[in-house]
Amino acid sequence: MTPLAAEVNENLAQISNYLVYSSMAVYTLAFLAHIAEWIFGSRSKVGRTAAALTGAKAAGADAPAVRVRGKGGTAVLDRPKVVTRSAAGTRDVPDGPGAAGGTEDGDLYGRIAVSLTALAFLIEAAGVVARAMSVQRAPWGNMYEFSLTFSTVAVGAYLILLALKKNVRWMGLILVTTVLLDLGIATTWLYTASDQLVPALHSYWLWIHVSTAIICGAVFYIGATGTVLYLFRDSYESKLAGGGTPGRFATSVMERLPSAATLDKFSYRINAAFFPLWTFTIIAGAIWAGDAWGRYWGWDPKEVWSFVTWVAYACYLHARATVGWKGRKAAYLALFAFACWIWNYYGVNILLNGKHSYAGV
């Protein structure tokens, strides 16, 4: 490499670092906007009743009646109850209005948060591209580069779901928080200077195998987020069904989320849709191992835990499809599968030795 080319690559690496830190700053603003969305979307009972009255007036004769009960010298309006029909054994619970709570102020801050998230995504994606140009290869040759691309793909998947008019804005605060945590770990502990790869990695399979692994992990993360929220929402609904009274904070948050049944279905569809791609990822890795090391399988820790992750997701999908596991048991299995994926990334790369140790940190 000529001195001029080396200098250009070094400048590109510095530009990549600046872009990554800039994206973190914008993600922080998006985080604050999402906080404002949740705060301004938390309406008082009077505000919820007014919204219910407005909806009832717009609906006309088919709207449920508003019941007035006396309380001293003041008339208190109860929120109309909407009764739906569903299969036997399931709860008749509608989805919540989302993080904005159906309020104009909350929706405004929510739109600002999404716009800032999209801007931060573009800046971070530019940083990934600059990193790739500085090393003249795929930008995922170590854990630092993998983490950058992982968070970029996760945010990109979230924005795609929003563009497809899917009701996922409730995920924005958790996603941005996780992305900031991921980037903080990457820039603080995992940073690796731009460098070329070892000979074993000089293959077009790097683009295929690692890219699909990143995509699967990012989308599995979104599914896991829905699963965790499902567990909280399910507990909330169970407490209400049992006559309990959840706390004010829990009520304010949980009543704005989709119903437990919706979250359960969302997570299942996400995991089921990308499980075939994870299967392809493992197969591609085996083919690459055959080209690089002369064997398709060698019980390397990374290979073993990739297969364990595949088995865990396969058991989850099989249980949902054939045994009929739905609800909390399936959710725990899905979270175990994603925990295997996280361990395969952080634990195996940092704590265990194997042929994949070339990636370093």
| pTM for this prediction | 0.85
Q: Which residues of 282-308 are buried (b: 16+ CB within 10 A; e: fewer)?
A: bebbbebbeebeeeeeeebbbbbbbbe
pLDDT at position 289 is: 87
* Residue tagged 């219910």 (tokens): 52
Q: Closest Cα partner for 197 from 138, 150, 122, 152? A: 138
pLDDT at position 135 is: 86
Average pLDDT by consecutive 10-residue portion of the chain (361 residues)? 79 94 98 96 55 47 43 45 42 88 93 98 97 88 92 97 94 97 95 76 85 95 96 94 89 94 94 97 92 84 93 94 82 96 90 64 52
Q: Closest Cα partner for 273 from 157, 109, 171? A: 157
Query: Which secondary-structure segment (H or E) carries 233?
Result: helix 211-241
Q: Write out the two tokens for 214.
A: 């990143």
Q: Closest Cα partner for 121 from 26, 9, 53? A: 26
Query: Which secondary-structure segment (H or E) carries 77?
Result: strand 74-77
Task: Please classify residue 44 by burial: count the beta carbons closer than 10 Å to its beta carbon, then call 0-12 exposed, 13-18 middle and 19+ buried.
Answer: exposed
With the C-alpha atoms ordered 202, 207, 208, 212, is the resulting torsion angle positive or negative? positive
Alpha-carbon 73 to chain mean position: 49
pLDDT at position 203 is: 80
Residue count of the chain:
361
Report d(CA 17, CA 128) in Å as an integer. 9
Which amino acid, residue 155? V
